[in-house]
Structure 1
Amino acid sequence: MKQTIPLLQTKNIGKTYLVGEVPLVALHSVNLDFYEGELTVMLGASGSGKSTLLNILGGLDTASTGEVFFHGKTLALETDDGLTQYRRNHVGFVFQFYNLIPSLTAEENVRLVTDLSNKSMTPLEALTLVQLHERKNHFPAQLSGGEQQRVAIARAIAKRPELLLCDEPTGALDFKTGRIVLEAITGINKELGTTTIVITHNESIAQIADRIILVKDGTIVSDTKNKNKKSVSEVSW
């Protein structure tokens, strides 16, 4: 699966926050390569630095030290407008909470993204990929938590991003619903070839990954290829 040149690469990434006058180091010299089509799970407890790293990879935050490269081009030197274009054109985000607009239908929530890009699929095509096309006219309040999350996934992938970043996508869901959401994520990864990074504290979810990265105290503890990859239906927690 690996190609010579990574889609996304970090070199000596560090992140330090000031809490009052006290520096808090969130990431220490992170070096990672992510390749096209990979499904990576980053595991770590709350406060381990995995969300900080995901935000830097997605251009929502910037590193204090080091560089991030996308297709070999550094993001660290980009202007704010450049980072906005990076997020808009290349990255899809899925968060633990769905961030849907209550007054818009499922289709209209997805259209918010498709109207921003000329390479987007239609809202109905995106909803079909997550098996929600029949619910296109429903408002968020009329959808279950899992359905709302799948609308959020449809919205994230509708612009055909090269990179899909998922921050605890099953964290607010029960097991049965979480499994449906994971099926949607793995389906997108397989059907569209979207490079996908999922962060979670749930070790069982790592079984669906091509690759597993363990983060602890802002440091990459291990980075291993998953030799026993399982389908979502085989995983329980």
Structure 2
Amino acid sequence: MSEILSTKEETRDSSSTQSKPVLHAHNLTKVYKTGEVEVKALDGVDFQVFEHEMVVLLGESGSGKSTLLNILGGLDVATSGEVYFKDRLISSDSKGLLTSFRREHVGFVFQFYNLIPSLTALENVALVTEIAKNPIKPEEALDLVGLLPRKDHFPGQLSGGEQQRVAIARAIAKQPEILLCDEPTGALDHQTGILVLEAIEQVNRELGTATVVITHNTSVGGIADRVVTLRDGKVSDIQSNSNRLSPSELKW
């Protein structure tokens, strides 16, 4: 694991945070139709995520955060607009190509952990490494999020925060270029949420994984390089942090 981390750190240190975009969305719209009623979830959104960057995506419920994240990650498609992964246009890809894109390049962490209850923590992570092209060992992924001592425990034997950290280990075990986290602390108490954010921050810092974290908690923006706020399906504000806080320094 140390060899992997040192290589990633050299890459991170040798380039600026905003070197080039890993994901770039231009003029995204998403319209949902129910009968004759149309709801515009996204309304002309431009969004970029750069190599090694940590972005926190803020907004109230219904602002379009999850819709944007799902389109960026290839789980959904926009009504109009373009999404690029590096120099590749993915917004017009077929379902099969989007599946390959997700499998090879994107790690997802959701509010609910989606672990298989009959498998241990190690086995849940190993499911991903068995189909990935360039995975790290499941033990190394669990060690990175501080859960190697719990590797033989089943989800039912783990706390909510521990289950979420297993989910993070599973997401990053395939070494994705992008980690997309949708309300990863939404079901957790304050102290447990800090532990989960520390795991996400460590993945971003040590592996250099470009990371987007959705939250409605404005204080979480302190851990980010940039904070992007959505309102009514549009980007209403973008702020940059010259100094990122550690999760333990956040004032909730």
- Aligned mates of 2:94, 2:242 — CA distance in 1: 40
Deviation readout 1:163-202 (Å, 9 max, x if unpaired): 0000000000000100000000000000000000000000
What is the match of residue 73 of structure 2? Answer: 58
Unaligned runs of 5+ in 2: 1-16
- Aligned mates of 1:229, 1:114 — CA distance in 2: 31
What is the match of residue 232 of structure 1? Answer: 247
Q: Secondary structure at the match of 1:85?
A: helix
- Aligned mates of 1:233, 1:203 — CA distance in 2: 15
What is the match of residue 146 of structure 1? Answer: 161
Q: Secondary structure at the match of 2:21?
A: coil
Question: Which of the numbers 12, 17, 20 marks the counterpart of 2:27?
Answer: 12
Identity %: 58
Answering whether residue 41 of structure 2 is matched by residue 26 of structure 1, we say: yes
What is the match of residue 49 of structure 1? Answer: 64
Measured after TM superposition, the shift of residue 223 of structure 1 is 1.4
Answering whether residue 51 of structure 2 is matched by residue 36 of structure 1, we say: yes
Measured after TM superposition, the shift of residue 230 of structure 1 is 1.2
What is the match of residue 175 of structure 1? Answer: 190
Paired AA for residue 56 in structure 2: V
- Given that 2:120 and 2:153 are in contact with CA atoms closer than 8 Å, whether structure 1 keeps it comes out as yes
Unaligned runs of 5+ in 1: none
Deviation readout 1:11-54 (Å, 9 max, x if unpaired): 11100000222111000111122110000000001111000000
Give the TM-score normalised by structure 1.
Answer: 0.98
- Given that 2:104 and 2:133 are in contact with CA atoms closer than 8 Å, whether structure 1 keeps it comes out as no
- Aligned mates of 2:190, 2:173 — CA distance in 1: 26
What is the match of residue 87 of structure 2? Answer: 72
CA RMSD of aligned residues (A): 0.8
- Aligned mates of 1:133, 1:104 — CA distance in 2: 15
Structure 1 residue runs of 4 or more that deviate by more than 6 Å after TM superposition: none
What is the aligned length? 236
Paired AA for residue 45 in structure 1: E
Measured after TM superposition, the shift of residue 236 of structure 1 is 2.7
Q: Secondary structure at the match of 1:141?
A: helix
